[in-house]
Structure 1
């Protein structure tokens, strides 16, 4: 048992270093995204922002090589020396190198993207997929340790928690065009136009996009929350705040800290802190049995916090039916996602934990 605990601590430190390098990569991605969106004169692949990203990848590759060599036993093939959870990391590094070369070729042939097309460029999406594989290292490592654990302890290590937050941030990067944190939202003037009136579609389009942004941003926050809850007895302290910070503040910084974005992100963050305080007081049995109510409540609190911040710092110019409907829809999506995640045969019970040898004797 002592040896198992020592190995767990060692692997936890190793995975934490990997995820700290992942933080370097995520910040470099947002920095590069800022350059693409704010420097329209960008006309070359060789930029300081690409240098930050690719140097981070080289550092991650070097660290992964160290991890593999440290884990290798004399005479053991390198492939077999890759620790559990790090095979996906190696695949991600290879894919990133491949995508980087393709991205260079893409830019040389087709030029540099300077707007929305930079987020959906095929080579950038391949880079993003490889980054997800790398950022997920601690999650895979924790799951492998959990499978081998004799006491069935939860698999949510601090490094794995950090990994999920980083992946949420990376998801926010690629979905920034449908983020509820980067739009004026309910502060923008909207005058309802009757069906058939000229210009109705144009006047409603910003509202339609904003409503879709609320739903997708809710999914971006609630899905990782449900994942972490599926591998731990209780949600980690501050988990909602960490997820909201990743989903809100990184995109807000990437677009240049616009006033309405700062207000909305601050309101949602304060609401997230309140949600975490309430979660800490919930009994575990109630948390499990009322999970749709919990996630629906989180969504309602977050977006209400954002709306209050909008009202205090500027004004809400949407009709009450629209802004209140956005909160209700987001609450329903969050509750429905939890319902699907917890769906199971009627009367089914949670799997029993393995009985320790001492108790069995």
Structure 2
């Protein structure tokens, strides 16, 4: 007769949490990133619907279908990776690929949040305004999504050697871009990319009222959200050409979905700005070992990006904002904020 307690049997099945699993292959991370794009794309469709379909009254919509099937495909793939390792003899924590443990935990959290979201909409209806960004069920969904889609980043960091090439790093880069888009989606009230060219020039042409404050704050928030993943990755790898585009483009696509692409000039300008940041990264070569170059990139990249943002808006309207201090100083503020972010991500070592 066995004397093992239920707790000891569970511990035996789960294994030692300090025991790491096998590393995922680059191809497996690529599949995870591609399926995550399906999931995030479904959320972008849903964001478009909430912004552009005022008669939306049902939980069961085509965009929810894309969203939840994207989750099902991503979750099934991650669990398949675990099952393959179990079939090879691994047990418990040792069966979960490196970097995927948090994603395995987030899968049931997402499922429970989805059920809670259906219940929430049944009781309280469908949100049509900014209240959608504060729904508890939506916050649960996006938090779980953030953990799931960033699995390729953690997997890449767990490898002992990974070349700094776009072919090797694109799953981690795209994962960071999708994570940034998720954050910017739920900070939509501080997203400067959704402004039209006319709104940008108008807002910076008055020193009174809420418009100038909203745009100025939005530039700071958007700058931090988009710059942080680039600087985080630059701590570990030299950024290949295309890194900034992969990190920034998901947020541009999201912003286009929210505005029904009515601010096309600003969106194109921001995408071109990402390519410019890529060129700056090749010239400056910021890495964790080159602290000066790292800090210089953190200053120059946002200075360039937001100067282009204001330049595109001014060109579209035909003139710059009337208050010179705003359109000349805002990119400088962005550069200073970038320098502060670099100090947080790459602090000076204490002697």
Q: Give TM-score, length-normalised by structure 1.
A: 0.82
1:28 aligned residue (18, 32, 42): 42
Task: Provide the alpha-carbon RMSD of the alignment.
Answer: 2.4
2:267 aligned residue (265, 268, 271): 265
Partner of 1:162 in structure 2? 174
Deviations 1:68-117 (A, max 9, x none): 12112455435542222222111111011000011111111111101111
Partner of 1:40 in structure 2? 54
Once residues 59 and 65 of structure 1 are traced to their aligned partners in structure 2, the CA distance between those partners, rounded to angstroms, is: 10
Q: What are structure 1's unaligned runs of at least 5 residues?
A: 1-6, 194-202, 349-361
Flag the 1:116–1:80 CA change in 2: closer, same or farther, 3 A. Answer: same
2:183 aligned residue (171, 176, 180): 171
Q: What is the CA-CA distance between 1:128 and the residue it aligns to? A: 0.1
Q: What is the CA-CA distance between 1:255 and the residue it aligns to? A: 1.7
Partner of 1:90 in structure 2? 104
Q: Tell whether 2:260 aligns with 1:256.
A: yes
Once residues 303 and 159 of structure 1 are traced to their aligned partners in structure 2, the CA distance between those partners, rounded to angstroms, is: 27
Q: What is the CA-CA distance between 1:32 and the residue it aligns to? A: 0.5
Once residues 114 and 322 of structure 2 are traced to their aligned partners in structure 1, the CA distance between those partners, rounded to angstroms, is: 44
In 1, are the aligned partners of 2:314 and 2:321 still within 8 Å (CA)?
A: no
Flag the 1:320–1:46 CA change in 2: closer, same or farther, 3 A. Answer: same
Deviations 1:169-201 (A, max 9, x none): 2222222221111124432266646xxxxxxxx
Once residues 98 and 58 of structure 2 are traced to their aligned partners in structure 1, the CA distance between those partners, rounded to angstroms, is: 39
Q: Give TM-score, length-normalised by structure 2.
A: 0.85
Flag the 1:158–1:243 CA change in 2: closer, same or farther, 3 A. Answer: closer
Flag the 1:284–1:186 CA change in 2: closer, same or farther, 3 A. Answer: closer
Map 1:77-116 → 2, pairs under 5 A: 77-116=91-130
**Aligned with 2:260: secondary structure?**
coil
In 2, are the aligned partners of 1:266 and 1:309 still within 8 Å (CA)?
A: no
2:337 aligned residue (333, 338, 354): 333
Partner of 2:14 in structure 1? none
Partner of 2:295 in structure 1? 292
The number of aligned residues is 324
In 1, are the aligned partners of 2:284 and 2:297 still within 8 Å (CA)?
A: no
**Aligned with 1:317: secondary structure?**
coil
Once residues 157 and 224 of structure 2 are traced to their aligned partners in structure 1, the CA distance between those partners, rounded to angstroms, is: 23
Q: What are structure 2's unaligned runs of at least 5 residues?
A: 1-21
Q: What is the CA-CA distance between 1:264 and the residue it aligns to? A: 1.9
In 2, are the aligned partners of 1:275 and 1:298 still within 8 Å (CA)?
A: yes
Residues 50-59 or 265-274, more deviating: 265-274
Residues 290-299 or 31-40, more deviating: 290-299
**Aligned with 2:305: secondary structure?**
helix
Partner of 1:302 in structure 2? 305
Partner of 1:213 in structure 2? 218
In 2, are the aligned partners of 1:266 and 1:306 still within 8 Å (CA)?
A: no
Partner of 1:182 in structure 2? 194
Once residues 203 and 84 of structure 2 are traced to their aligned partners in structure 1, the CA distance between those partners, rounded to angstroms, is: 60
**Aligned with 2:25: secondary structure?**
helix
In 1, are the aligned partners of 2:286 and 2:297 still within 8 Å (CA)?
A: no
Partner of 2:315 in structure 1? 312
Deviations 1:30-81 (A, max 9, x none): 1011111111211111111111111111111221222112112455435542
Deviations 1:183-225 (A, max 9, x none): 24432266646xxxxxxxxx52011010000001110111101
Deviations 1:214-247 (A, max 9, x none): 0011101111011101111x11212222223222
2:138 aligned residue (119, 124, 129): 124
Once residues 247 and 169 of structure 1 are traced to their aligned partners in structure 2, the CA distance between those partners, rounded to angstroms, is: 5
Flag the 1:81–1:191 CA change in 2: closer, same or farther, 3 A. Answer: closer
Flag the 1:172–1:67 CA change in 2: closer, same or farther, 3 A. Answer: same
Deviations 1:316-339 (A, max 9, x none): 334111122211211110111112
